[in-house]
Amino acid sequence: MDDLMDNDNKEQYVYSVFQSIASGYDSANRRISLMQDLHWKRSAARMLCSALPDEARILDIGCGTGDMMRIISEEKKDVSLTGLDFSPNMLKVAKNRLRDIPSVRLIRGNAMELPFDDDTFDGAVISFALRNTADYDRVLSEALRVIKNGGRFVCIDSFVPENRLIKPFYGFYFSYLMPLLGGGLGRIGQYRWLNKSTSEFICAKELAVRMKKQGFTGIKIRSFLFGACVALAGTVSDRSGKDKDVRGNDKIP
């Protein structure tokens, strides 16, 4: 088990958190990251798009409010974007903010049970969402399954920096200042979860190992802010022995 919570309780708790913070999520992220999150996401988008063909089909797993989808649409024109998230409130925000972008569809679903056939997408990204799932390996396996051979997968997320000089400052900021900056007094509890989910998350090196075990190759790693944010990219080249199934979820009209 990847977290101190059991899988069902983690899913239910994370769902309630993101349902409650959807409307102010992006502005909170700007404050929490000291206005750096868009730069990090653009770098991750370039890692993804640089390896994809024109008119690529791209999946954003845990798309939230659509922040990354908009960045990808600016980075690479004429792509077909699909966003999947389990929070209806997040998807409502995404639907509104992406209404001017053609070829976008939003689907309510579970990152551990992607409702797509094998080899559907040229590439996929999961942005600050993997650590909030109940089974990291299952998410990686599902991403591998739906990406075409030779396609690119990128994961960008928050991590605890390994630098011993940075750790104390990071710990103080994320434990005390970040929840207040993100949620204010009214939603400080929900933003304490973001600290908890990061502190209990695997390290970036372990994530790279897990990606390799699933079958991703040529892993590339880019670190930001002393390792507080890390983007990892891998290529799909081996699906041998992987389970293949398709689960049904709800499309957002």
Q: Is 230 exposed, middle or buried (0-12, 13-18, 19+ CB in 10 A)?
A: buried
Q: Give the lowest-confidence range in 28-37, 51-60, 106-115, 125-134.
A: 28-37
Which tens digit of pLDDT belongs to each residue from 204-247? 999 999 999 999 999 999 999 989 999 999 999 866 545 444 44
Q: How confident is the model at residue 8 (pLDDT cuts 50, 70, 90)?
A: low
Specify the pLDDT at position 9. Answer: 82
- Domains, in order of start, for the chain: 7-156+202-238 (3.40.50.150)
Please enumerate in sequence order all residues whose Cβ is within 8 A of that of 132, keeping only pairs 6 or more positions apart, or say none.
Answer: 14, 18, 62, 197
Q: Which amino acid is at 52?
A: L
Q: Which of 141, 136, 58 is nearest to 103 (CA)?
A: 58
pLDDT tens, position by position, 74-128: 999 899 999 999 999 999 999 999 999 988 999 999 999 999 999 999 999 999 9
How is residue 224 written in tokens? 């930001």
Rounded-to-integer distance, Cα 60 and Cα 44, Å: 12
Residue 148: its H or E element: strand 147-158
